[in-house]
Structure 1
């Protein structure tokens, strides 16, 4: 009886195993023209950094927050810059007044030059007729030359005053730009991935404050052998089945194929596969799909990748797109 029961258990086990094997093989068998590999979800990261050294006044977002392009993320302390800006604006005001005075002096010098030229011309005419002496003509000539020189000096003073205004205004513009740089804004839509500093910390130029994740620019990098890579074209369709949600099939397409072969990273493939030259391929997920599921997008998620190297091949039923 015990022997019969044992044989029955073994038979059931073998049959069950065969059924499971058949189901797995039936589900994972692929038509010619589709290759399979694995990879990890990645996304473009944007580092939000301080342009100049200073103290962080406030950080207005937390890790995980979704932000839109133009959102203020953090502010650096700007009291010193504000004081310098007020001083520069005062210099602009002073320079503008000096330029106005130089302009008035130039106008007066021009009037005196015009009068001196007219008097010299009259004196020349009278001298030709013998009505005035040569000494009187020379005096008018000297006055004319002095008036011309005074006008040229007034023009130079006006030009110098105008240049001083330009310099002062440039200083104001520079300080205003520095003040704008103390406000850190999101350059595009995304999710706050990391907060790398805290309010009150003093950081150097280029220090990273936050890291944003562009959830509309998500991709997976895989490595495939030279044979299939040579058949790939940009835009070739692909399907992703992610480990955490194997019930869904996510569409993607080929957006980059390396022009040269390379060894695959140790973290991606087995030793045997690393010994072969492989081509790096980038698969990008549709932006409209990512926008729809932006709160669910996560990087670092691993999964299997199916790529159609033959544009005419039909996807098997289990690889048809299936989304939540």
Structure 2
């Protein structure tokens, strides 16, 4: 805060000098003091782990989607494989419920039906003979009743086996299929979750930019959420400068300014992107009609992405406004 106030005070002094030299009228090509600021992007993982690989170094410029670092992922890889196997098992069970019994199993049931039909036919013939013999008095009442019961039992077995054949050709009940389908959906979600956790162990640059700093070394433990790489995309480089009250009204967002810095081979054009709506006072903070010249407004301007690498955060600059 002290540094900022000192910078603002210096700017105000320069503004006052400029105003004094032009009879309280703003110079049409006035120069204002400012500084470069960078809005850094801190790359981190939502998962904890040991830093396994660091693919970039400080000062390197990388393209978007370039791999930046990876954390060890043994546990996440195993969890993903487990979830995939559980999903495969659930899908197989659902397919089994939807198709009914296998053809060989249906064939066994059909063979048992054929055997039951033969037994029923044999029992029916025996009953017919016993009824004829009973009328002639050759068999007892007990034998006739046994033959009749045997024929009824054989006929019932035929009906039972026929129903078993029909059931074998049917899929599972609708409720069973719905329950298994829900299990498949749950296992598929578990696979997606495990894949997401594994992907979080591999971090890439969201956009092109400068690797401003690396904050961990390979082999160190990284807590979830802690930044590993500090990046500065060119579009996040901006210049802040301050203008007096008498000048701010002539500036507008989208307007052009020129930036001059030590060591720059040529001036850097920039576009005004923000004009503060609140005024600031340079010390001493005492308002009077005589101190209105100390009333300043902060302006932000962005250079083009091609020119941004020529500027460095913290660098003092001079801004020339039309």
Corresponding residue for residue 254 of structure 2:
235
Q: Find the aligned partners of 2:240 and 2:74 in 1 and give their Cα distance.
A: 46
CA deviation string 1:230-256 (max 9, x = no partner): 2211222212121344x6322222111
Point out which structure has higher relative CO (alpha carbons under 8 A, 6+ apart).
2
For 1:265-295, what per-residue CA distance to the aligned partner results, in whole angstroms no more than 9, with x for missing partners? xxxxx635897443221111123434xxx3x
- Does the 8 A contact of 1:252 with 1:283 survive in 2? yes
Structure 1 residue 31, shift from structure 2 partner? 8.1
Q: Tell me which residue corresponds to 1:280.
A: 298
Which residue does the alignment assign to 2:283?
Answer: 271
The equivalent of 1:170 in structure 2 is: 189
SS at match of 1:167: helix
Which residue of structure 1 aligns with residue 139 of structure 2? Answer: none
The answer to whether the 8 A contact 2:274-2:300 is kept is: yes
2:249 counterpart SS class? helix
- 1:218 is matched with which residue? 237
* C-alpha spacing 1:36/1:297, structure 2 compared with 1 (3 Å): closer
Q: Aligned-pair distance for 1:215?
A: 2.2
Which runs of 5 or more structure 1 residues have no equivalent in the other structure?
Answer: 1-24, 109-139, 265-269, 309-324
TM-score (ref. length: structure 1): 0.64
1:4 is matched with: none
Instruction: Tell which structure's C-alpha radius of gyration is larger.
Output: 2
User: What is the CA distance between 1:188 and its match in structure 2?
Assistant: 0.5
Quote the residue 2:49 is aligned against.
54
Q: TM-score, normalised by structure 2?
A: 0.65
Aligned equivalents of 1:261 and 1:229: distance in 2?
11
Aligned equivalents of 1:196, 1:262: Cα separation in 2: 38
Residue correspondences, number: 235
Question: 1:77 and 2:72 equivalent?
Answer: yes
Q: Secondary structure at the match of 2:233?
A: strand
Residue 102 of structure 1, CA deviation? 1.5
- The alpha-carbon deviation at position 48 of structure 1 amounts to 0.3
* 1:305 match: secondary structure: strand
1:51-130 pair list within 5 angstroms: 51-105=46-100
User: How far did residue 70 of structure 1 move?
Assistant: 0.5
Distance in 1 between the 2:89 and 2:295 partners? 70
State the alpha-carbon separation in 2 of the partners of residues 167 and 159 from structure 1.
12
Cα distance in 1 between the residues matched to 2:171 and 2:79: 36
CA contact (8 A) 2:33 2:241 kept: yes
Q: 1:206 aligns with which of 195, 216, 225?
A: 225
Q: Report if aligned partners of 1:40, 1:303 keep a CA contact under 8 Å in 2.
A: yes
Contact 2:235–2:302 (CA under 8 A) maintained in structure 1: no
| Structure-2 separation of matches of 1:179 and 1:207 | 17
Q: Which runs of 5+ in 2 are unaligned?
A: 1-17, 104-158, 288-293
Contact 2:45–2:224 (CA<8 Å) still a contact in 1? yes
Within the candidate set 177, 187, 207, 1:188 is matched to 207
Is the CA contact (8 Å cut-off) linking 1:85 and 1:176 kept in structure 2?
yes
Alpha-carbon distance in 1 for matches of 2:266, 2:285: 28
- Displacement after TM superposition at 1:153 (Å): 7.3
Whole-angstrom distance in 2 between the partners of 1:274 and 1:34: 29
